[in-house]
Amino acid sequence: MIVSQKSTPTISSLVSPESRLPLLGWMLLLTCTCGCSISEKFQQRLEVTATLSAARTAPDGKLTTTVNDTTSSQVHLEQQDLSESSLSAGMRIQFDHGPLRFLVDNIGASSASTGFFSGALVGKDLPAGIYGSEIELSSARLLMAFPLSASARGEEGTLDARLLAGLDLTGIRLQFKSTSDPAEFAEFDELVPAPVLGIQSSIRIAPAWDIEGIFTFLPLAKITDYDADCIDGSIRLGWDPDPDWNLFAGVRSHNIKLSRVADGRPIDLDFSIEVIELGVEYQF
């Protein structure tokens, strides 16, 4: 028995060399057209919202340095006139891609003063004298929001609720420098990375008015080497004069507690940033 094989013509055998170049051009054009369509569809699904606010911020709290088992020295920001409020800027960028949301925001506070101090600051014992002191606190958050409500998933609803997970980077710098002897100088400078969980929710209370709240927290001792807590809460009242614009007023409180050993001495700090802000939000 003889089995014959029937060959299947290929594209190269059906197309002459002279016609391959135009065919290749049409294929490239089709590929580019499809690619542009996919890119345009992706861009239509991506929403970017930028927020800028003028904020009145005030640092508060204390730092305790344990010199030995029975002696400790404390720096109270209020007693050192470092709790004065100052004007700063707040920023948030929000990316919405389908049901997922990504948030990046930043806020800070700083204050400076000159006054009498005597005691220990971290690893340095400062003699009694007049010192110029500075405090800088900042919070930068990188968060991903997962939808919990129908509205957050793009369905009909008035409540937009989302689960937050991400990282809070709290920067702390406290500095004392003698006005008479520059050699008498001490500084505490720390960046505390805080894995956080939380919730973001917003509800429309009127056709042009809404309320948004964000709360993040997580004990760091269970995740990192830091024995610390980081809690942040904010609430905003917004007004929409236009579908793309939102004007808002809000308050925010960011608190960080940290216990660790620095320069061979145990330290405990409890600092916070109190924020009152007015701002504008624009959706691209």
Question: What pLDDT, on a 0 to 100 scale, did the predictor assign at position 223?
Answer: 64
Specify whether the backbone of 208 is left (phi greater than 0), alpha (psi in -120 to 50) or beta: alpha
The answer, yes or no, to whether residue 109 has pLDDT greater than 50, is yes
The answer, yes or no, to whether residue 162 has pLDDT greater than 60, is yes
For residue 284, CA distances in Å to 42, 95, 101 come to 14, 10, 15
Residue length, the chain? 284
C-beta of residue 227 within 8 angstroms of C-beta of residue 221: yes
> How would residue 272 be classed by pLDDT, with cut points 50, 70 and 90?
very high
**CATH class name, domain 48-283:** mainly beta
Average pLDDT of the chain to the nearest whole number: 83
Question: What pLDDT, on a 0 to 100 scale, did the predictor assign at position 221?
Answer: 56
Give per-residue pLDDT as tens, 50-102.
Answer: 999 999 999 999 999 998 877 899 999 999 999 999 999 999 999 998 889 99
Give per-residue pLDDT as tens, 178-224.
Answer: 999 989 999 999 998 888 999 999 999 998 999 999 999 887 656 66
* Percentage of the residues of the chain whose pLDDT score is greater than 90: 64
The Cα–Cα gap between 165 and 168 comes to 10
Is residue 28 within a helix (H) or strand (E), and if so which, with residue range?
helix 17-45
Question: What pLDDT, on a 0 to 100 scale, did the predictor assign at position 197?
Answer: 92
The Cα–Cα gap between 103 and 278 comes to 19
- CA-CA-CA-CA torsion for 110, 114, 118, 120, nearest 10 degrees? 30
Q: Which value, in Å, is the radius of gyration of the alpha carbons in the chain?
A: 29
Give the SS3 label for residue 99: coil
Cα 79 to its chain centre, rounded Å, is 30
Nearest one of 275, 271, 240 to 80, comparing CA atoms: 271
Question: What pLDDT, on a 0 to 100 scale, did the predictor assign at position 9?
Answer: 41
Compare 22 and 156 and report the one with higher pLDDT: 156
Q: ∠ CA(109), CA(111), CA(114), 5° rounding?
A: 170
Quote the DSSP letter at residue 81. T
The Cα–Cα gap between 126 and 177 comes to 9
Question: What pLDDT, on a 0 to 100 scale, did the predictor assign at position 260?
Answer: 86
The answer, yes or no, to whether residue 13 has pLDDT greater than 70, is no
In the chain, where are the structural domains located?
48-283
> How would residue 137 be classed by pLDDT, with cut points 50, 70 and 90?
very high
Q: What share of the chain is helix, strand, coil (3-state, %, to 5)?
A: 15, 65, 20
Tokens at residue 59, please? 């640092």
